A and B are shown apart, each in its own frame.
Chain A
Amino acid sequence: MQDFADAFARAVTLVISGDADLIEIVALSLRVSLTATLLACALGLPIGALLAIARFPGRGAVTVVINALMGLPPVVVGLVVYLHLSRAGPLGFLGLLYTPAAMIIAQTVLITPIVAALSRQVLEDLHAEYAEQFRSLCLSRRAAVGALLWDGRYSLLTVALAGFGRAVAEVGAVMVVGGNIDHLTRVMTTAIALETSRGELALALALGIVLMVIALGVNALVHGVHQSAARRAHA
């Protein structure tokens, strides 16, 4: 348990000292995972909305598949993305392997199913409530989706946070496609893995604590925005 005390002390020291490497790693973590979350929302929300309101053959099967994809192991995602981005792979000519872009792609692939599946649930419930009113108004499907996304925005924010949480916490995918290259693709989780393999358990734990505080900060920020906005317009 002395490791924990040591870890806390080191975490505090790291943060207070404003360690340049730490700042760089934290910034990259946030950049990669927030970008992946944005992309996953741009892809996943329309998919979720489509599954929530459209009726087409195979919709049930697609829903089941997307729900199952929520459980994708990050390493598998990393491997699949690696095989595509590798110089020997079909997208190798882009030269993206071992860059932050590759990590963003991998995390986007990882969390898009989460955003799609959870938003489908949120939007389907909302749509059940609104559908008749929308039909009475002769809303276009586009306007209906827009209204659902807007009215469901706070629940969908939680969905996005779920995606972000998974992205920022995963190590398997970014390790494979990013390569954990110092000053280029090293993020919080790969740094933690590295320090663990160096046997620097307290330092690894300290980084883990910093990661948790960051995740907490992002969530608190969103929560605060949600609360103040909800007080104004939502019910």
Chain B
Amino acid sequence: MHEPRPAGPAAATNPAPPAGPRLRAEAITLTQGGRRLLDGVDLDLAGGGITMVLGPNGAGKSLLLKVLHGLIAPDTGRVLWDGRPAGQATRRRQAMVFQRPVLLRRSAAANIDFVLRARGRRDRARRDALLAHVGLDAHASRPARRLSGGEQQRLALARALATGPELLFLDEPTASLDPASVLRIEQVVAAARADDTGVVFVTHDVGQARRLADDIVFLHRGRVVEHAPAARFFDAPASAAARDFLAGRIVV
């Protein structure tokens, strides 16, 4: 990739991913207000690579990411990462960019510093490299909340990368961005992948999924309808729902 990946411990100290699935969800259900929001989700994700999650609005994509990240405890079932249940300990080595990123009320640079400090590090060089990595070096001292939507998305991504996560959850990080910004983020994500960071990436942009995905998870009404390598998913979707979705015909 063109952007220098900031030196981080993640790349250097990561042991080789263990054989078999690294992230495993077993029979996840989540019910709220009498509605079944996640309905028996089983999922095995390998260590590296980019998993793109597709599905119509309200399918449960965001909820699924939060469950996998250990932010929401499912009603039944469990999430395992390297065989350990999802929770504080696994979360420490992961990062997530929310669908609506929450930036702190301080400068762009201070937002990164904050995360570095939370991990007991004070590293201005790394912070500056991260900002440059997402193309925000010129905006370092601007209030984060005064940045444009696209700039905020990029800052949120830089912040997520700051801790050198082994697994990155991205919930529609390019929604409502201009093509150049989309490209920028895609480059950053691809660079992370090249560094052995696993990525779980929610998108509505089928073209983007084609460009980036190693495998595709298609979610519909809280169920994983299809989980397949990208090429196979796009060439020959197995389910009727996925076929309709790709053809732009799906009804929620």
Contact = CB atoms under 8 A, between A and B. Distances in A.
A137 B162 CA distance: 11
Nearest to A231: B143
B144 to A, nearest CB: 7
A136 B110 CA distance: 18
B155 interface: no
Contact of A132 (B98, B106, B118, B146): B98
B107 interface: yes
Given A151-B105, A234-B105, A137 B115 contact: yes
Given A147-B104, A233-B106, A136 B91 contact: yes
Interface residues of A, number: 18
Contacts of A139: 118
A125 to B, nearest CB: 13
A132 B102 contact: yes
A64 interface: no
B140 to A, nearest CB: 12
Contacts of A235: 105, 143-146
Of the listed residues A139, A147, A235, the one surrounded by the most CB atoms of chain B closer than 10 A to its CB is: A235
A148 B127 CA distance: 22
A151 B106 contact: yes
A143 B96 contact: no
Interface string B163-175: 1000000000000
Q: Which of B88, B118, B144, B163 has the most CB of A within 10 A?
A: B118
B71 A135 contact: yes
A135 B118 CA distance: 12
Contacts of A140: 118
Given A132-B102, A136-B91, A233 B96 contact: no
A19 interface: no
B95 interface: yes
Contacts of B143: 232-235
B88 to A, nearest CB: 6
Interface in A126-156: 129-130, 132-133, 135-140, 143, 147, 150-151
Contacts of A135: 71, 91
B234 interface: no
B81 interface: no
Interface in A206-235: 232-235
Nearest to A235: B145
Contacts of A234: 105-106, 143, 145
Interface residues of B, number: 25
A83 to B, nearest CB: 44
Contacts of A130: 102, 104
Contacts of B69: 136
A143 B102 contact: no
A139 B102 CA distance: 15
A150 B117 CA distance: 15
A143 B115 CA distance: 10
A93 B118 CA distance: 46
B114 A129 contact: no
A54 B12 CA distance: 38
B102 A147 contact: no
Given A137-B118, A151-B105, A235-B144, A132 B71 contact: yes
Contacts of B102: 129-130, 132-133
A156 to B, nearest CB: 12
Given A132-B71, A136-B91, A138-B91, A143 B118 contact: yes
Contacts of A150: 106
Can you list the 10 inter-chain pairs with the closest CB atoms, starting with the nearest? Answer: A235-B145, A235-B143, A133-B102, A151-B105, A235-B146, A138-B92, A136-B96, A138-B91, A234-B105, A139-B118
Interface of A: 129-130, 132-133, 135-140, 143, 147, 150-151, 232-235
Interface of B: 66, 69, 71, 88, 91-92, 95-96, 98, 101-102, 104-107, 110, 114-115, 117-118, 143-146, 163
14 contacts: A129-B102, A130-B102, A132-B102, A133-B98, A135-B91, A136-B69, A136-B98, A137-B95, A147-B104, A233-B106, A234-B105, A235-B105, A235-B144, A235-B145
